[in-house]
Amino acid sequence: MGIVASTPEMIQLAAGLLKQGELVAFPTETVYGLGADAANSEAVAAIFKVKGRPANHPVIVHVGNLDSLEFWARDISHTAFQLAQSFWPGPLTLILRRTDRVPDRVTGGQETLGLRIPSHPVALQLLKVFGGGVAAPSANHFGRISPTTAQHVQAELGQLVPLILDGGASQVGLESTIIDVTKDKVRILRPGGIDVLAIAEVVGYMPELVSKPEVRVSGNLESHYAPATPMYLVSPSELTTVPEGCGVLTFGRSPDNAGVWVQMPQQAEVYGQRLYAVLRDLDSLGLDCILVEHVPDAPQWLAVRDRLRRASSGVKKGMPEFKNKMV
């Protein structure tokens, strides 16, 4: 069926497919997810197959309301509840201790579970009609750019997913913030849709940002969220001589010279909302490289900086190396 409009009938159909152990791609406010019934081990296994994701990487379980929290998680701390109440539904994933009801496939055999209530109305409606938890990673091939539209999902996974619910472009555009709330002090495992300063306000201190968690977080592999085209982070002064065949993401105006220039927004949220779609577009042009102007070093830019760094890792940063590479 491919992409369908998210009418009540189609949401009903999607929930029915999930019940039968099929996969359904659906919109969330962060990125599109590839969903399966979280209680059905075989259905969850199919997600890994479609994505080409290593089996020991855990997936997030999406639920429709707080009532089911204790079905999935135990020993939930006061702080965890405060965070849930402050940011759910929304782009926050809490890492909690799991109950015995959670299939091993979901957690990659770990004792913890990622849980989130998304805020996209289509996701919430799907979860409500389905009634259970939906295990869903981003609906892209392992290591690639997350999809922020139904068309991106189709381009990525096409025939492999029977149904893609269309919910328009994701409003946040970057994945959820992942917070480990299983220890005394909360820690951020992946910066994302929620500002760290807002989290600090709720918990009362600035949480540590864990760059290499002991648990397997695929989004924390050094190279992830990456276009196929080699990507380099550069300073504005390095953009004076852009080679033909390169794409450029910049805050400035495009000069009259070579390359495909995209002027990016000055606000972190808008930049984050558009980033993956822009990278995906540039990636489809068969360019030699993508040059991205450094973004500000302020806290609001944390998630964008994190994704840019990972998308460009595995290659040397900066134009001098790039020039060497070209000759």
Q: Which of residues 214-243 bind ligand TXA (CB under 6 A)?
A: 215-219
Nearest Cα neighbor of 211 from 195, 194, 224 is 224
Binding of residue 311 to ligand TXA (CB under 6 A): no
CA-CA distance, 294 to 275, in Å (whole number)? 13
Q: Is the CB of 136 or the CB of 319 nearer to Mg ion?
A: 136
Min. distance of Cβ 194 from ligand TXA in angstroms? 11
28 binds, among Mg ion, ligand TXA, none (CB under 5 to 8 A by kind): ligand TXA
Query: Which of 6, 28, 148, 312 forms a contact with ligand TXA (CB under 6 A)?
Result: 28
User: Is residue 224 classed exposed, middle or buried when 0-12, 13-18 and 19+ CB atoms within 10 A define those classes?
Assistant: buried
Q: Which of residues 119-158 bind Mg ion (CB under 5 A)?
A: 138
Find the helix packing angle between 150-157 and 268-283, rounded to 10°: 40
Binding of residue 30 to Mg ion (CB under 5 A): no
Binding of residue 148 to ligand TXA (CB under 6 A): no
Min. distance of Cβ 155 from Mg ion in angstroms? 16
What region, left, alpha or beta, does residue 298 occupy, with left being phi > 0 and alpha being psi -120 to 50 degrees? beta
Nearest Cα neighbor of 165 from 192, 218, 129 is 129
Binding of residue 166 to ligand TXA (CB under 6 A): no
Q: Is the CB of 89 or the CB of 137 nearer to ligand TXA?
A: 137
Q: What letter represents residue 264's amino acid?
A: M
Tokens 């060497």 sit on residue: 324
Query: Which of 6, 149, 176, 273 forms a contact with ligand TXA (CB under 6 A)?
Result: 176
Min. distance of Cβ 243 from ligand TXA in angstroms? 33
- Cis upstream peptide for 137 (omega within 30°): no
Q: Which of residues 121-140 bind ligand TXA (CB under 6 A)?
A: 136-138
Binding of residue 30 to ligand TXA (CB under 6 A): yes
